[in-house]
Amino acid sequence: MDVQKVLSGAAAACGPSGQEMLVAEYFAEQFRPYVDEVTVDKMFNVIAHKKGAGPKVMLCAHQDEISLMVTRIEDDGSIRMGTVGGVDPRILPASRVWVHGREKLFGTIGALPPHLMSAEDRSRNYAMKELYVDVGLCAEKVRELVQIGDLITFNVPSTSLLNGQFAAKTMDDRSCVVMMLCAAEFLKKLVCDADVYFVATCQEEVGSQGATTAAFNIDPDIAIALDGDFAKQPGCSPDATMPMDAAVVSVGPYLQPKLTKRLQECAKNHGIKLNVMVAPRATWTDADAVGLARAGVPGILLSLPMKYMHTTVETIDVNTLREAARLLAHYVSELDAGWEEDLWI
C-alpha cells in the first residue's frame, strides 16, 4: 500500500461531522481488497468485516472532520460562519476554503486588517464573529448559490515532508483509519482466528455518536480505539506531549488494564516501540463511547502522535503509522480462544 497516496486521498475527501458520505465512500473502497465484506450504515459508519471464529474485535477510528457552516450572508456578499466541531478562530484568517452551496465555491477567510484595528483589538485574538468568507461575488449571487447551513471545508493540499513526515488537514483522525487499512493489509499475511471489524466512525468531533451506534450494533468482545495524540513541539508541556517516533498506549480507569498490558507485551515481542500516556479520567475519544456500549466493552486506546492538532497542517510520521498498524495486526492475530483467561476476577 502506498500510504502517503491513501492519506492524500483521505485528506481530500469531504466529510464534516454528520455529512461523511463522500469520505465513507472513499474508505469503503479502500477496505474492500482486505476484508470479506464492507457496509456503510445509516449514520455513514464504514464497517469492514474480516470474518473469523474467534473473539469479536472492533477497531475504530473516526473519519469525520472539523469544519465550518454558513450562518449569515452579509449585504456585501461576505459569509459569516459557525463551527462544526472544535475549530479555533485563531487558525482561520487567510485560510483557503470551499463553500459547499448549490455550486462548490472557492473562498478565502478574511478579517479586519491590523492597520484598521484599535490597540485594544490588536492585543487580543480574533473571535469567530469578526471573520468571514469572501467568494468574490455580490450578495445577490451568493444568496442564489448559498444558503444558511451550507458547509465550509478547508482547501489545503497534502504535503510530504522530509524524514517520512506528512502534513495535511483531517489527519485527526483519518490517519488512524489508514492505520487500520495497513493493519488489515498486514493481517492478510498472518493467521488470524479473530472476527475483526474495522470501523471508520462518524460524528466523533461532535460527541462520538457513530462509535456509540456501531458498538451497539457489532457488540464486540474487545475494542481498540485509535485516535491522534499531541506530539512534542515548541512551547508545549513535556507532560502533555509525546515523541512522534512511536505510537502511544493510554492507561487509565476507562481502559482495560490487562488488555493494555497484553498490547505492551506484544509490542516488546515484535520489536515495536510503544510509549505510554496517562488518561486519568475520560479519554475524549471513541474509546469512551464504545466502552459503555450495551453491557460494557473492555477496551484499549492506541494513539498516533501528531503536531498542530485541529489545524490544516496536522503532521504525522508515516513510519510510526505503519509500525502501529503492524502492532495492531500482531495483537489481533494472537487473540485465541483463551484470550479471556485471567482477564476477569
pLDDT in tens, 227-240: 999 999 888 888 88
The SS3 of residue 58 is strand
The SS3 of residue 159 is strand
Number of Cβ atoms within 10 Å of the Cβ of 305: 26
Are residues 138 and 278 both part of a single domain? Answer: no
Whether 215 is covered by a domain: the verdict is yes
Q: Between the CA of residue 113 and those of 88, 126, 252, 281, 311, what are the distances in Å?
A: 19, 11, 46, 42, 22
Which residue numbers are catalytic? 204
Characterize the bridge pairing of strands 67-73 and 222-230: unpaired
Residues of the domain holding 140: 67-154
Are residues 278 and 262 both part of a single domain? Answer: yes
Are residues 86 and 119 both part of a single domain? Answer: yes
* Helix, strand, coil % over all residues of the chain, rounded to 5: 30, 30, 40
Domain count, the chain: 2
Are residues 311 and 329 both part of a single domain? Answer: yes
pLDDT value of position 345: 62
Q: Which three cell numbers mark 59? A: 477497531
Q: Averaged over 68-85, what is the pLDDT?
A: 95
Bridge partners for 100 per DSSP: 104, 151
Are residues 8 and 143 both part of a single domain? Answer: no
Q: Averaged over 77-92, what is the pLDDT?
A: 93
Are residues 206 and 140 both part of a single domain? Answer: no
Whether 106 is covered by a domain: the verdict is yes
Q: pLDDT digits over 56-76, tens only? A: 999 999 999 999 999 999 999
Domain boundary among 127, 154, 181: 154
Domain boundary among 95, 123, 154: 154
> How many whole angstroms separate alpha carbon 242 and alpha carbon 324?
15
Are residues 135 and 96 both part of a single domain? Answer: yes
The pTM for the full model equals 0.93
